Amino acid sequence: MRISKFFLPLLKETPAEAQIISHRLMLRAGLIRQEAAGIYSWLPLGFRVLKKIEQIIREEMDRAGAIEMLMPTLQLADIWRESGRYDAYGPEMLRIKDRHERELLYGPTNEEMITGIFRAYVKSYKGLPKNLYHMQWKFRDEQRPRFGVMRGREFLMKDAYSFDLTKEDARKSYNRMYVAYLRTFARMGLKTIPMRAETGPIGGDLSHEFIVLADTGESGVFCHKDLLDMPIPPENVDFDGDLEPIVRQRTSLYAATEDVHDQARFEQEVPAEKRLAARGIEVGQIFYFGTKYSEPMKAVVAGPDGKDVAVESGSYGIGVSRLLGAIIEASHDDNGIIWPESVAPFRVGLINIRVGDENCDRVSNEIYAKLTKSGVETLYDDTPESAGKKFSGMDLIGLPWQVVVGPKGVAAGVIELKNRRTGEKVELSPEALMGKFIDGYSAV
């Protein structure tokens, strides 16, 4: 993509309303624009990151055996009356009436709807286990939307729902999501710690929040420090096998959010030098809630003995849009964002510092054409701005690699490659550059 043809509105000034660094950087780097309190437009650069994050989540959910679908944002109030949550949910629910005076709501979550879908089609235990998920916008009329996409009113969530015949099977489904979450967040460059958590309005008795440690996080958290350095389950982890050892390795160490924290137990179980009391960002939460919805909504299947059984369920959320904020909180410096390669909006930022110079233009155009043709996502700064402005803009938007083409280098047959994270710079020939970014590249 050429910046001259792109839509990249960078802000010079730090917007006054943004209190935390990720929100400031998201506004300054032209990722989002606020449309109303807690409601954002995703500008092209931010949209690209959102799609990358979605894709990682999708791959890991699919690997764990979950099946993607899509449910609407608007739901009928009636189905929420079946579970008893329509009245219980309170002012966070945005309630709407259509022209026929029918009561609708903008979904804050989808337990009722998915249970309605499940019970309409699955009648026998032979159709189990099932885990269905979607990524869809949610609306919660938060009292205090703040910190940009971290606590929005409209936000993108991945929510999965599992259905099993027995509690033991439901536990296996829970473990699959637990392990999939560890992999998902690690692939985005995030270190997350699963912590015991309150179940909230979703209900049930087993829940973990996946927490990214950050001073700006909204939750107080307490855990054993060894949880910071646990190995991430590999890509070939067997989701049909026994995942209990992986889960137990973590759950045997103390980790709790402030809502369920027990200071006496913490001090008893964790030696003083291993105690970590910190703040964190909740990027995902998983719940096992048994028959909380299947009972009242009569989602039953015929068991092996022919008798009807209410299915055992859990739900599994990830804050897709919140993740942009969390990743930036975890990965930035004074000059701007530092995207991990896996979610970067482009992999390479190509800076031509002397646009209009015949040689610089030729070399830049060649590099741009070759990288793009080979599928290396490249943002090419071909604008007539000053070199200083280009450098600071490129640092701000945080692409992992910067390639600088200038007259001196071009005369000497080299260009400069900078690693945004380390700041390390090397000079190399355009051919060597291609070899670095294009698998199996050969000059001919």
Ligand X SMILES: Nc1ncnc2c1ncn2[C@@H]1O[C@H](COP(=O)(O)OP(=O)(O)O)[C@@H](O)[C@H]1O
Q: How far is the CB of 311 from Mg ion (least distance, A)?
A: 23
Nearer to ligand X, 119 or 208 (CB): 208
**Phi, psi (degrees; rounded to nearest 5) at 419:** -90, 120
Asked if residue 9 binds ligand X (CB under 6 A), the reply is: no
To 10 degrees, what angle do helices 167-187 and 44-63 make? 140
Alpha carbons 69 and 1: distance in angstroms, whole number: 31
Among 317, 336, 345, 393, binds ligand X (CB under 6 A): 317
Q: How many CB atoms lie within 10 A of CB 316?
A: 27
Among 24, 28, 151, 208, binds ligand X (CB under 6 A): 151
Among 157, 177, 363, 397, binds ligand X (CB under 6 A): 157
To 10 degrees, what angle do helices 167-187 and 244-251 make? 70
Q: Which of residues 354-393 bind ligand X (CB under 6 A)?
A: none
Asked if residue 111 binds ligand X (CB under 6 A), the reply is: no
Supply the DSSP symbol for 73: S
Q: Which residues make beta-bridge pairs with 106?
A: 74, 94
Nearer to ligand X, 218 or 295 (CB): 218
Alpha carbons 295 and 343: distance in angstroms, whole number: 41
Among 131, 285, 352, 402, binds Mg ion (CB under 5 A): 285
Span from 4-12, 114-122, 283-291, 295-303 in contact with ligand X (CB under 6 A): 283-291
The number of residues that bind ligand X (CB under 6 A) is 17
Asked if residue 282 binds ligand X (CB under 6 A), the reply is: yes
Max CA pair span of the chain: 82
Give the residue closest to ligand X by C-beta.
319
Q: Which of residues 194-233 bind ligand X (CB under 6 A)?
A: 200, 202
Among 184, 257, 285, 364, binds ligand X (CB under 6 A): 285
Q: How far is the CB of 139 from ligand X (least distance, A)?
A: 9
Q: How far is the CB of 184 from Mg ion (least distance, A)?
A: 16
DSSP secondary structure string, 131-160?
Answer: EEEEEEEEE---SS-BTGGGB-SEEEEEEE
Residues 6+ apart with CB under 8 A from 442: none
Encoded tokens for 37: 């309190």
Partner whose binding site includes residue 283, from ligand X, Mg ion, none (CB under 5 to 8 Å by kind)? ligand X
Is the Cα torsion angle 386, 388, 389, 394 positive or negative in sign?
A: positive
Partner whose binding site includes residue 416, from ligand X, Mg ion, none (CB under 5 to 8 Å by kind)? none
CB contact at 8 A, 281 and 211: yes
Nearer to Mg ion, 175 or 285 (CB): 285
**Phi, psi (degrees; rounded to nearest 5) at 289:** -130, 10
Span from 173-181, 315-323, 361-369, 376-384 in contact with ligand X (CB under 6 A): 315-323
Q: How far from 234 is each of 60, 112, 186, 239, 316, CA to CA, in Å?
A: 11, 34, 11, 11, 21
The number of residues that bind Mg ion (CB under 5 A) is 1
Q: Which residues make beta-bridge pairs with 162?
A: 131, 314
Q: How far is the CB of 155 from ligand X (least distance, A)?
A: 4
Q: Contact positions toward Mg ion, by CB under 5 A? A: 285
Q: Contact positions toward ligand X, by CB under 6 A? A: 109, 140, 142, 151-152, 155, 157, 200, 202, 282-285, 317, 319, 321-322
